[in-house]
Chain A
C-alpha cells in the first residue's frame, strides 16, 4: 500500500470533495427537504467512491467523512465513522466479487448499506433498548431518506467515474 504523489493527490481530491459535500449537506441540502426528509449525499458519495476507486480509498474516504459527521453532530463519536468506513470498504468488494461494476450494481450496494444501517438500528433499539416505536420511526425516515438520496446516485456515479478515468490517464 505504497502511496505516491499522484495517489496522494487523488486522495486529497476526494477528501476535499467530501469536505464540500459535508458543507453542502449541512447548509444547502436541508433547503430541499420534502416532508422534513432531506437527502443524504454523503453515503451515496461513499458508496460510489468505494465502488469505483476501490476498498482502500473508499474506506478511508468513508472513515474521514463519517468521523467528520460525528464531530459535527456531536453524537456518539465513531458510529458514523465506522458505518461509512465499512460501506466504503464493502462497496468495491460487493461490486468486484459479487456483481458487475455498473450503476445498477451501485443501486443494489446502496440498498445493502441501508439495510445494514437498519439492522444496526434494529439491534440498538429493539434488542438493546427495547424501543420499538422509535425504531419504527427511524425505519420510515431512513427508507424515505434513502429513496430521496437515490436521485443523486447517477450524477455522482458519472462525476466520480469521469474523475477516476482522468486520474488513471494522469498516472499513465
Chain B
C-alpha cells in the first residue's frame, strides 16, 4: 500500500484531484461575474467547446438521416393517412357528383311526365331466391303505393309492385319469367310482347316476342312500353335490342332486349302511383 502512495501515478492523480477541486471551488462561486480562474479556463476551453459543437452538429446532420428514420416513418404514416383522407374526400365528391347527375335525371323525368305522381323509394332488399327479379322497396301503402303500380328509374322501366305492406313493397322486375307487357320497337313502331325468359334472366335480359319479320327491329333499337295491358303507362323506355332471332316455330321473330335499368345496381326507384288503367295485364303474376 505504501508503494501505491509513492507511485508516480498516485502523485499525479493527487495533483489532478487538487486541480479539479480548485476548479470546482472556483466554478461554484455565486458571483455573476467570472473570477480570474474561471475566466481563463473559459477562454481556454472556448475553442474546444466550438470544436465539440462543430463535431456534434456535423455528426448530427450526418446521423440525422438514420436517427430520424422513426420520425420520417411517422410522418410517412401521417401523410398516408392524409392522402387516404383526401382520397375519401375525392370519392365523396365523386359520389355526390354522381348523385347530383342521377337526381337531375329524375328531375328530368318529372318534368317530362308531369302527369305522373311519383314516389321515390329506396331498394332495401333483393329476394335471395330470385336474384334480380324481385326487389323490396322501403315505401308501402302508407306512402300511397298500391299493387300493380309501375316502378321506374331515370334510365327506364323496372317492373311493377306485386305486394304492398304499410311501409314496404315488393316489386317484380321485367326480366322475371312471370312478367308480360305490351311493348313496341322505336324504329319500326311494331308492337310486340315483352316477356321475361328463364334462359335470359341469368344474363339480366328479356325479350320482345311476336315480331312479324326480320326487319321489325335492328340492334340498338329502343323498346318502349306500348300501354297495352293497362298496367304500364305508354312510352316508358324498357331497353335496347341486342339481337333479333326467329322463334322456335319459325313464323315470328323475337328480339333480345337489354333493359335500360341496371338491376344489379338499383338503389332508388320511382313508383308511379296515379296510373290506374289495370286492364289486360297477365293475371297469373
Contact = CB atoms under 8 A, between A and B. Distances in A.
Q: Do A and B bind each other?
A: yes
Interface of A: 1, 22-23, 26-28, 31, 55-56, 59, 63, 68, 71-72, 74, 76-79, 81-82, 85-86, 89, 93
B59 A72 contact: no
A31 B69 CA distance: 11
Given A31-B67, A59-B13, A76 B28 contact: yes
B27 A72 contact: no
B60 A27 contact: yes
B251 interface: no
A63 B18 CA distance: 13
Contacts of A71: 45, 48-49, 52
24 contacts: A1-B9, A1-B12, A23-B56, A27-B60, A27-B67, A28-B63, A31-B67, A55-B9, A59-B16, A63-B16, A71-B45, A72-B52, A74-B49, A77-B38, A78-B19, A78-B20, A78-B22, A78-B23, A78-B27, A79-B24, A82-B17, A85-B16, A85-B20, A86-B13
B245 to A, nearest CB: 76
Given A23-B56, A27-B56, A77-B41, A85 B13 contact: yes
Contacts of A28: 63, 67
B264 interface: no
Contact of A82 (B21, B48, B56, B67): B21
Q: Which 6 A-B pairs have the closest CB atoms?
A: A78-B23, A82-B20, A78-B20, A78-B24, A76-B27, A1-B8
Interface of B is mostly: helix
B55 interface: yes
Interface string B26-43: 011000000000100100
Interface residues of B, number: 27
A74 B16 CA distance: 20
A1 B38 CA distance: 31
B21 to A, nearest CB: 7
A26 B52 CA distance: 10
Find the residue from A68, A74, A78 having the highest chain B CB count within 10 A: A78
A31 B28 CA distance: 31
A22 B49 CA distance: 13
Contacts of B17: 82, 85-86
B34 to A, nearest CB: 11
Nearest to B67: A31
B27 A77 contact: yes
A59 B27 contact: no
Residue among A1, A26, A27, A81 with max Cβ neighbours from chain B (10 Å): A27
A68 B55 CA distance: 13
A27 B63 contact: yes
B5 to A, nearest CB: 12
Nearest to A80: B20
Nearest to A31: B67
A78 B16 CA distance: 10
Contact of B13 (A26, A31, A89): A89
A78 B21 contact: yes
B52 A68 contact: yes
